Amino acid sequence: MSDELWRFEANQVVDLLKNNDVSPTEIVKSSINRIEEVDVNINAIPIKCFDRALRKAKEIDINEEKKNWKSLLGLPIAVKDYNDVSGVKTTYGSKIFKDNVPIKSDATISKLEENGANPIGKSNVPEWAGGHTFNSVNGTTRNPFDFKKTAGGSSGGSAAALASGQVWLATGNDLGGSLRTPASFNGIVGLRPSLGVVPRGQRHLPFDNLWVEGPMARCVKDVALMLDAGSGNSSEDPISFDNPYNSFLKSLGRFDLPKRISFSHDLGIVPVEKEIRQITSNSIEIIKKENIEISSEIPNFSGTLESFHTLRGILLACMMDDLLKNHRDDILPEIIKNIEVGYNVTSKEIIYAEQIRKKLLASIDIFFKDHDFLICPSSSIEPFDADKPFVTEIDGKKCKSYIDWFAITFALTMTACPVISLPCGFTKSGLPVGIQIMGKPRKENELLSFAYFLEKKLQVKDKVPLDLTKK
């Protein structure tokens, strides 16, 4: 069985552990074998901590762990290289930290480890931020569906590791789409939860309301499983809180189907490739068959892109001010430009950004009075060539900045609503396409339940993990 465990869903492997059909050590060894077999072509997990994972596996008492209903029972996970794991190198994709080994795990990972997760390696990231996973320390991550294409970013390593069967669960985080874009590009599921659902480490600004941590997996059920293990209050994160709905996993299938949802190709503000429009429209036709009313009404997103750039610049400037002063020559030029946006922001621009967000949230409130969900593409484009640093044009329209090609995700960031990226189909060249489903604030349980239903109807889930031995 161990040779085939990589094909199983995380919830199935946890059940095997729970029933003592396999041991934590066997599961870790299975993951190690798969990583060594396929990651040479993908570079999803450049930093390994196999010895640490094996040691932790031997220490796990399954009978004791079963007393904790949240426990993953020693299931190996990939940890994004923006998150600290005690005793394991964490580079943040920067040569400034190429030899950095944190003493303790951050709040996000500590919560998962507390609930039985076993980190097996660090998944690759862009330097500090971005939509394409490459850096000067650990190289470029390739898309398992086509090694010539990008895995997206910044959670590209996590997404590629999942799609290629190296791990069953992986951490991601999301500022402007860093979790949702790679989920779409790799045919897996990624959830951007509401602020505070998953605790954040002290590297983040404690009261920032844009950047969240979230689970990534191959299916909705596994995302719910991981969210149970990773959510909750932490003293390190003053905004974090305990889940009032008990189990996200047990919420699946317990809600009525929505009566009315809205679909938009572009939210009225971004260009989207024709093929992406067609594929995402096909998923809406499937929803219509369930007697769910489809509306074209959407909240007012005007001004959100400019406002996001302003607020993102301020965040990066606050987080990286000292690094830029002391290590300017060791930071990617595009990141420097984004930090300097924060330096150069005027009071008037900040006021405008906050006013726009206030108007958007008022519009969101009105929208949800007669809609249950909003659906749009997870990306404006299909995965592009990995040798390109970023996209400069979409559907004949030039991008203003190097992150504009995933503007359709950071528009939803500004809403503060939970958003899940769900695979919905493939381009003519065989590359994955995803949809974003936005739910009501703090209603992850309802969002996951609908996504779970829709996943079954779309019939895309079983396309991952990929059997790369056939390539």
Contact 383, 146 (CB under 8 A): yes
Q: Is the pLDDT of residue 182 over 70?
A: yes
Q: Measured between alpha carbons, how far is 324 from 267 in angstroms, rounded to an integer?
A: 35
Q: Is residue 74 part of a domain?
A: yes
Q: How confident is the model at residue 405 (pLDDT cuts 50, 70, 90)?
A: confident
Percent above pLDDT 90 for the chain: 91
Q: How far apart are CA 220 and CA 90, in angstroms?
A: 28
Q: How far apart are CA 73 and CA 28, in angstroms?
A: 12
Domain that holds residue 250: 2-298+378-470
Over residues 406-420, mean pLDDT:
96
CATH number at residue 144: 3.90.1300.10
Q: What is the pLDDT of residue 246?
A: 85
* Residue 461 belongs to a domain: yes
Q: What is the pLDDT of residues 8-20, one digit of tens each?
A: 999 999 999 999 9
Q: Label residue 470 by pLDDT band (50, 70, 90).
A: low
Q: According to the model, what pLDDT value does residue 402 have?
A: 66
Asked if residue 359 is part of any domain, the answer here is: no
Residue 211: left (phi > 0), alpha (psi -120 to 50), or beta? beta
- 316: pLDDT confidence band, cut at 50, 70 and 90? very high
Residue 389 reports pLDDT greater than 90:
no
Is the pLDDT reported for residue 33 higher than 70? yes
- Burial group, residue 327, by CB count within 10 angstroms (0-12, 13-18, 19+): middle
- The pLDDT score that the predictor gives to residue 403 is 74
Q: Is residue 285 part of a domain?
A: yes
Q: How many structural domains compose the chain?
A: 1
**Domain assignment present for 310:** no
* Cα(355)–Cα(351) distance, integer angstroms: 6
Residue 399 clears pLDDT 90, i.e. is over it: no
- Identify the pLDDT of residue 198: 98
Beta pairing partners, 426: 432
CA 31-183-425 angle, to 5 degrees, is 110
pLDDT by residue (tens digit) across 114-163?
A: 999 999 999 999 999 888 999 999 999 999 999 999 999 999 999 999 99
Q: Is residue 45 part of a domain?
A: yes
316 within a domain of the structure (yes/no)? no
d(CA 23, CA 26): 5
Q: What is the pLDDT of residue 378?
A: 98
Residues 438 and 450: their CA atoms lie apart, in Å, by 11
Residue 353 lies in a domain: no
CA–CA separation, 255 and 462 (whole Å): 24
Q: Quote the pLDDT of residue 471.
A: 64
